[in-house]
With several copies, the nearest count.
Chain A
Amino acid sequence: MTQTQPARSIYFIKAMQEGLRAAMAEDDTVVVIGEDVDRSIIGATRGLIGEFGDQRVRNTPISEATFVGACVGASAVGLRPVVDLMVGSFFYVAMDQLADQAAKLRYMSGGQVDLPIVYFTATGPSGSGAAQHSENPHPMLMNVAGLKIVMPSTPYDAKGLMLSAVRDPNPVVYLQDFVLGGTKGEVPEHAYTVPIGVADIKRRGTDVTLVAIGALVPRALKIAAKLEKDGISVEVIDPRTLVPLDLDTIVESVTRTGRLVVCDNARLTCSAASEIVAAVVESAFSVLKAPPQRVAWENFPVPFSPVLEKRVLVSDDDIRAAVVKTMTG
């Protein structure tokens, strides 16, 4: 990936905000709404109210269904709303307005209208957030046609995908895996975009294709580095966008490696891991040297106690074991 200088190391959350600020600066119709977006517990919108005022950065009541739906009408008449849902699980409260209204109106109308909306949120496990604050909703949302879904894993992608998401003429769900917020990485100062729908090969390898999503990408890279020492060359792919999914990049990699492991930071059943494995098997079965492996959460809610939470979520050992299994089994 080519970076234009000057770049400096900043936090993921700061990078999201830089992408958002750039979008707000270039287009007055971009507005940010959500609960307490002025102070912003997670931080992506913190301080923007000072620059852009309380009409473009607006706190909402706790009425998710209504403000998620309001963005459909607002975008249809010319606004570009960016909504902070705060936590991934809160999408459930607004599911009809998201899945039946925002996602479907353009299609149902026969293409009459563009609905440029960004629904972003911090999401996923954060350490004993318990069952109602730890889920990643992307498996559910991937089944809803009409929503683009991005889930960056680096500050660089976080900034570039935010600007792309706000410029996109469609509803885009932008998922910030909770634990990534405080990670740092090289980010150019200037505004730039990372294209929606294009996966990124984060590490080249020859033996196994390891697809990792969100917070699992940096962990996959560490594991790949370790495995290198054991003589296993792992290629790590970050889809970055889950809808539309860049299947070609993944299939091309599997064609070279013949082995596939997909790690999803979500519950196993009907996860992105299931989808990617099924799709690859359909189109690249003949090149597979070993059964593709899924690594995802146990099919349980995320429990509170650290020992229990650890048991349900994906561990580095799970990932490593799955990679090794494709080499040996």
Chain B
Amino acid sequence: MTTPPRADLPAQEQADLLRQMIRIRRFEEKVAQLFKRGQLPGFVHLYLGEEAVAVGVCSALRPDDRITSTHRGHGHLLAKGATVDRMMAELFGRVDGYCRGKGGSMHIVSFALGIMGTNGIVGGGIPIGTGSAWGDQHLGRDTVTVVFFGDGAANQGVFFESMNLAAIWKLPVIFVCENNGYTEWTATEKLTAGKIADRGQPFGIPGVQVDGNNVGDVRRAVERAIERARGGDGPSLIEAKTYRWHGHNEGEEAFAGAYRPEEEQQHWRQREPIAAYARELIASGVLDQAGWDAIDSEETRAIDDAVAFGKASPFPDAEEALLHLFADSTVGHPTVRRTPVRDTPDGDQR
């Protein structure tokens, strides 16, 4: 790695960055396994290989800061404080999941944790995060919102509209583009003109490209952006170059074929974000091998417990399907079988 680890941070915090990246890694590996075994409903898009982006970004945020996430969101959510057990329960569609099983992989949110949205619509979260930044600014809070999106989402019109709005209203929003080199199965440069980091320039939004596999670099860039946002100077754009190890979605082998050169994949495996960082921590004496191993086994165990928790959690009652649409009871709202629609207190987690 080019840059030194974050020696400026307390040792505990430096180690915690490692722990969080390992947590995401083990979580996603487990999800891949469960999916292969046919134990997970729906689609999953894994974050393996991109861990340093989520952790570098979210570790710089305060608990009251916010994020919006994408279809590839597990890493963002874990880094923002979601627990592996409730995450796993949601992936299983169980009542102890963050959304009581209504959301699933692409829609896990926890407003209590500042997770404002995960999205099945590419680019869909960009206006939402821009809006939470507007709301916080209007209400006099100094919280910031980070909007995560991919290189593919950088070609959705709402990205530019939101940058323009954020620029003229000086909104405390940070646009973090995870450029993993591919939009599904097509290389980014075939679809995307120019450098994504430059796309804020016309709006006067500073943009930087960082090594997304270097947690320290990511963290540093985000810290600068946060300072700017809290200081009232408005939005920033960060393009984090990274690479996903797995397919666009689990199970793509069925049709996608070999769309990524072997050498390319090897190259990025070598630039793997976790081990390199761990070795730096050891080199700088923050951690020893035993400490690293301990973290890994703790997190690995936690994931196994999470799976047990998720499988033990009951499915929601079928009638819960008719809850949570509206916040109040919906007088006369017709349902096919005329089932009364009302909200339960326990449905409301707020």
Interface contacts beyond A70-B127, A305-B316: sample of 8 additional A-B pairs, CB < 8 Å, sorted by A: A62-B155, A69-B158, A73-B127, A101-B128, A111-B324, A198-B332, A300-B322, A318-B336
Q: Is the CB of A69 within 8 A of B135?
A: no
Binding site for A on B (CB under 8 A): 41-43, 66, 68, 93-94, 97-107, 109-112, 116-117, 119-124, 126-136, 138-139, 145, 152-153, 155-158, 161-162, 164-165, 168, 183-186, 190-192, 249, 252, 255-257, 259, 315-328, 330-337, 339, 343-344, 347-350
Task: Please give the number of chain A residues whose Cβ is less than 8 angstroms from any Cβ of chain B in the complex.
Answer: 94
Q: Does A29 contact B (CB under 8 A)?
A: yes
Which residues of chain B have C-beta atoms less than 8 A from A303's C-beta? 101-102, 321
Partner of A73, one of B133, B153, B259: B133
Indicate whether A185 reaches chain B with its CB closer than 8 angstroms.
Answer: no
Query: Of all chain B residues, which has the CB nearest A321?
Result: B337
Q: List 30 A-B contacts (CB under 8 A).
A: A39-B185, A61-B152, A61-B164, A62-B155, A65-B161, A66-B126, A70-B128, A72-B131, A79-B135, A93-B156, A97-B127, A100-B124, A101-B127, A107-B102, A108-B103, A111-B327, A112-B111, A112-B349, A113-B109, A132-B120, A195-B331, A197-B332, A298-B321, A300-B322, A304-B107, A305-B104, A307-B315, A308-B93, A308-B316, A311-B319
Assess the A247–B332 pair: CB atoms within 8 A. Answer: yes
Task: Select one of B136, B161, B324 contacting A107, CB under 8 A.
Answer: B324
In the complex, residue of chain B having the shortest beta-carbon distance to the beta carbon of A63: B161
Q: A76-B132, A107-B324, A169-B327 are in contact. Are A61 and B184 (CB under 8 A)?
A: no
In A126-148, which residues have CB < 8 Å from any B CB? 127-133, 145-146, 148
A261 CB to closest chain B CB (Å) equals 13
User: How many Å lie between the Cα of A306 and that of B321 in the bound state?
Assistant: 10
| Complex contacts, A112 vs chain B, CB 8 Å | 98-99, 109-112, 348-350
Q: A202 within 8 Å of B by Cβ?
A: no
Please determine whether B156 and A62 come into contact, CB atoms closer than 8 angstroms.
Answer: yes
The list of the 7 closest CB pairs from A to B, nearest first, reads A69-B127, A73-B131, A70-B131, A304-B104, A305-B93, A132-B120, A305-B101
Could you tell me the distance between the alpha carbons of A1 and B138 in the complex, rounded to whole angstroms? 38
How near does chain A come to B330, taking the closest CB pair, in angstroms? 5
| With known contacts A40-B255, A73-B116, A132-B106, A35–B121 Cβ distance under 8 A | no
Q: When A69-B124, A298-B322, A310-B318 are in contact, do A132 and B107 touch as well, CB less than 8 Å?
A: yes
The answer on a CB contact under 8 Å between B135 and A76 is: yes
List residues of chain B with CB within 8 A of the CB of A69.
124, 126-128, 130-131, 158
Chain B positions within 8 Å of A294 at CB level = 336
Count chain A CB atoms within 10 A of each CB in B134, B184, B256, B349 and give the residue with the most. Answer: B134
Measured in the bound complex, the distance between the Cα atoms of B116 and A73 in whole Å is: 7
Indicate if the CB atoms of A67 and B42 lie closer than 8 Å. no
Question: How far, in angstroms, from A221 to B183 measured CA to CA in the complex?
Answer: 40
With an 8 A cutoff between CB atoms, is A46 at the interface?
A: yes
A106 interface residue, CB < 8 Å from B?
yes
Q: Is the CB of A128 within 8 A of B128?
A: no
Residue among A146, A195, A299 with most chain B CB within 10 A: A299
> Across the interface, which residues of B come within 8 angstroms of A119, CB to CB?
none
> B171 → chain A, closest Cβ, in Å?
9
Stretch of A3-11, A154-162, A238-246 lying at the B interface: A238-246
Confirm or deny: A248 has a beta carbon within 8 angstroms of a beta carbon on chain B: yes
Task: Mark A residues whose CB is within 8 Å of B.
Answer: 29, 31, 35-36, 38-41, 43, 46, 55, 59-63, 65-79, 89-90, 92-93, 96-97, 100-101, 105-115, 127-133, 145-146, 148, 168-170, 195, 197-198, 243-248, 268-269, 279, 294-301, 303-312, 318
Q: A36-B184, A244-B330 are in contact. Are A307 and B164 (CB under 8 A)?
A: no
- Give chain B residues whose Cβ lies under 8 Å from the Cβ of A35: 183-184, 186
Complex Cα spacing A246 to B349, Å: 30
Min CB–CB distance B42 → chain A (angstroms): 4
Taking a contact as CB atoms under 8 Å apart, the answer to whether B135 and A109 are in contact is: no
Residue contact A244 to B349, C-beta cutoff 8 Å:
no
Known: A55-B138, A62-B153, A107-B325. Contact between A247 and B131, CB under 8 A?
A: no
CA distance A251 to B259 in the complex (A): 52
Once bound together, how far apart are the Cα atoms of A67 and B131, in whole Å? 8
- Best-surrounded residue of B324, B326, B337 (most CB of chain A within 10 A): B326
**Residues of chain A contacted by B103 (CB below 8 angstroms):** 108-110, 130-131, 304
Docked complex Cα distance between A77 and B322 (Å):
25
Q: B335 to nearest A CB, angstroms?
A: 5
Instruction: Let me know if B127 and A36 touch, CB within 8 A.
Output: no
A112 to B42, CA, bound (A): 22
The answer on a CB contact under 8 Å between A298 and B335 is yes
Query: Which of A61, A77, A108, A169 is B107 in contact with, Cβ under 8 Å?
Result: A108
Complex CA distance for A77 and B98, rounded to whole angstroms: 18
What chain A residues lie within 8 Å of B98 (beta carbons)? 109-110, 112
Residues of chain A lying within 8 A (CB to CB) of residue B129: 73
Residues of A within 8 A of B337 (CB): 298
CB contacts (< 8 Å) of A128 on chain B: these are: 41-42, 93, 104
Known: A62-B155, A245-B334, A307-B93. A106 touches B139 (CB 8 A): no
Residues of chain B with a CB closer than 8 A to A109's CB: 98-99, 102-103, 107, 109, 111, 324
In the complex, what distance in Å separates the CA atom of A170 from the CA atom of B325? 9
B191 A60 Cβ-Cβ under 8 A: yes
B128 to chain A, nearest CB (A): 4
Residues of chain B with a CB closer than 8 A to A67's CB: 127, 165
CB atoms of A127 and B121 under 8 A apart: no
Q: Closest approach, in angstroms, between the C-beta of B245 and any C-beta of chain A?
A: 19
Most buried by B among A130, A268, A279: A130
- The answer to whether A127 and B42 touch (CB under 8 A), given A62-B183, A111-B323, is yes
Pairwise interchain contact B157-A66, C-beta atoms closer than 8 A: yes
Are A133 and B120 within 8 A (Cβ)?
yes
Neighbouring B residues of A114 by C-beta, 8 Å: 327, 350
Contact of B257 among A39, A62, A146 (CB under 8 A): A39
Bound-complex Cα distance A96 to B101 (A): 23
Which residue of chain A has the shortest Cβ distance to B100 in the bound complex? A110
Q: Which residues of chain A are within 8 angstroms of B334 by Cβ–Cβ distance?
A: 244-245, 247, 268-269, 279, 299
* Residues in B whose Cβ lies below 8 Å from that of A90: 121
